Chain A
């Protein structure tokens, strides 16, 4: 299932639906890099509100995405991690260090805007 990616000004917003398979995540990674390059985006928000499980693969891939997008000079922020999911993640030892996180879309945008203004 393809993840919808919307353009909002200089930012991209990818909204993940539940039941995301490994292949879907890898497809998302490809699509985001392509779009960041194409639109010369400053930042990317990945909304995982609908994700009911975040395991090691999801965490690894989100980190990969963050790093690859950083190579294009853009920031990534993950938003919408559910309380139960966050709890399971830390129990499993997945802390996603180096990846910015925010509560929701609004916070995510604020974060990106702050980063963008800080850079110039």
Chain B
């Protein structure tokens, strides 16, 4: 399959969160994900995009289909040039719940997706990359 351009959604306000997850759902459905998986993906996008708005003010969400050794899936990236995360260990610990305070919800996103990676540097920004494969 020819490589498609990344779909890039600028995230500047909460309205963009809705746009990002709608586009994510469309892409997921186009790739062939079930309704359930498309919802998981849209939910993950919502969380990641919201983190950008809450902690960095602005950033972008990238999404694309991906194919490795005949395995198809979706790859999502959430990037910002915000303050960065002081302790990645902390935010990935399950105690950081989203239901209580203003947790980042990253443990939840990690559970939702098949692959999860996060890079962050104080004062530079954060990049979260996640993948889900067609089952």
Interface residues of A (CB under 8 A from B): 19-23, 52-57, 59-60, 63, 82-85, 87-89, 91-97
Contact = CB atoms under 8 A, between A and B. Distances in A.
22 contacts: A22-B17, A53-B21, A53-B25, A55-B46, A56-B103, A56-B108, A57-B46, A60-B99, A84-B38, A85-B43, A88-B39, A88-B112, A91-B108, A91-B112, A92-B47, A92-B108, A92-B109, A92-B111, A92-B112, A94-B99, A96-B99, A97-B99
A53 B42 contact: yes
Given A19-B22, A53-B42, A87-B39, 7 more contacts: A53-B43, A63-B99, A88-B42, A92-B98, A92-B111, A92-B112, A93-B94
A87 B36 CA distance: 8
Contacts of A85: 39, 43
Interface of B: 14-15, 17-18, 21-22, 25, 35-36, 38-40, 42-43, 46-47, 50, 94, 97-99, 103, 105, 107-109, 111-112
A87 B43 CA distance: 11
B46 A53 contact: yes
Nearest to B46: A55
Contacts of A97: 99
